[in-house]
């Protein structure tokens, strides 16, 4: 019959082992949390740089010369200014959606990391087609030679990769905060259709810019009521459940 001292020793060994395992788990959790925070901070910094780069072509615009007003300078460079404002607004909206996804997460896996890197590459790449598109608009040849196509399809790619990040996060519950899983499931249909709609609109506007470059940018305003409509339909569907 085992002695009470032996039982106590065995119990103590199991307790020490359990404590060691718990310590290892805590260390792993701290490592994941630190890695996740660094990725979020890095992402925000790269997006800020990408947005700043959008402004650089405007800095090169000379001020009014003798006999010229500032309004004439703005009119002469309206294409670059419009392209900057449009790109700025679109990137901010996409970053907001990206931020909402990451706020629901507590860790990342290899797929999220790779998709996020691709998303950042596209955001930093965007200032180049933005500058070309703005210059082409000034010369009334917006869209000629594929400039408009490159610009709008870059926006489509940013939107599409962002949607892939959100979709993968939803399909991998281990990446999500437990308190966020129900909300993600309740809103994923609306978010999926919003992503598809934005991607399709950017692709379509790119094609339009090849044939009717002068009116192509105005089609971007369709995204505002479209976003509201999708949100309203999603809210109605949720209430019917």
Distance CA 169, CA 157 (A): 18
pLDDT at 9 over 50: no
- 14 with 122, same domain: the answer is no
- Residue 61 phi/psi, 5-degree rounding, is -75, 125
- 88 with 203, same domain: the answer is yes
Q: How confident is the model at residue 236 (pLDDT cuts 50, 70, 90)?
A: low
Identify the bridge partners of residue 105 per DSSP, sorted by sequence position.
176
Q: What's the total number of domains in the chain?
A: 2
CA 182 to chain CA centroid, Å, is: 22
- The residues, ordered by sequence, that sit 6+ positions from 109 with a Cβ below 8 Å of its Cβ are 172, 175
Distance CA 53, CA 131 (A): 10
pLDDT at 217 over 60: yes
Q: What is the mean pLDDT of residues 201-227?
A: 83
Residue 71 domain-assigned (yes or no):
no
Which range among 19-23, 95-99, 143-147, 208-212 shows the weakest confidence by mean pLDDT?
19-23
Which range among 62-71, 141-150, 232-241 shows the weakest confidence by mean pLDDT?
232-241
Express each pLDDT in 14-52 by its tens digit: 444 444 434 333 343 666 677 888 998 999 999 999 998
Angle between helices 147-171 and 127-138 (to 10 degrees): 150
Q: Please tell me the predicted confidence (pLDDT) of residue 224.
A: 75
Distance CA 128, CA 144 (A): 16
% of the chain exceeding 70 in pLDDT: 78
- The residues, ordered by sequence, that sit 6+ positions from 129 with a Cβ below 8 Å of its Cβ are 147, 150, 151, 154
Express each pLDDT in 162-199 by its tens digit: 999 998 988 888 888 887 777 777 677 777 888 888 89
- 136 with 210, same domain: the answer is yes
Report the residue count for the chain. Answer: 241
* Positions of E strands within 57-169: none
Q: Please tell me the predicted confidence (pLDDT) of residue 4.
A: 47
Q: Which residues form the domain of 102?
A: 77-240
- 128 with 22, same domain: the answer is no
Q: What is the mean pLDDT of the chain?
A: 79
Residue 227 domain-assigned (yes or no):
yes
């Amino acid at each position: 019959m085992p002695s009470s001292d032996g039982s106590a020793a065995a119990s103590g060994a199991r307790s020490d082992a359990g404590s060691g395992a718990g310590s290892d788990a805590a260390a792993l959790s701290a490592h994941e949390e630190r890695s996740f925070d660094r990725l979020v901070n890095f992402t925000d910094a790269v997006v800020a740089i990408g947005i700043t780069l959008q402004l650089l072509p405007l800095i090169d615009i000379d001020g009014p010369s003798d006999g010229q007003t500032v309004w004439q300078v703005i009119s002469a460079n309206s294409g670059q200014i419009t392209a900057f404002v449009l790109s700025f607004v679109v990137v901010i909206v996409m970053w907001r959606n990206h931020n909402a996804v990451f706020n629901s997460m507590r860790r990342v896996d290899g797929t999220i990391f790779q998709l996020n890197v691709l998303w950042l590459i596209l955001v930093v790449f965007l200032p180049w087609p933005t500058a070309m598109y703005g210059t082409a608009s000034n010369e009334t040849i917006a869209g000629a030679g594929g400039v408009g196509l490159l610009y709008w399809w870059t926006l489509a790619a940013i939107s599409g990769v962002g949607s892939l990040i959100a979709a993968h996060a939803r399909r991998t519950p281990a990446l999500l905060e437990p308190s966020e899983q129900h909300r993600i499931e309740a809103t994923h249909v609306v978010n999926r259709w919003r992503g598809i709609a934005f991607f399709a609109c950017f692709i379509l506007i790119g094609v339009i810019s090849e044939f009717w470059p002068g009116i192509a940018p105005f089609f971007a305003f369709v995204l505002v009521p479209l976003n509201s409509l999708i949100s309203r339909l999603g809210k109605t569907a949720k209430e019917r459940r």
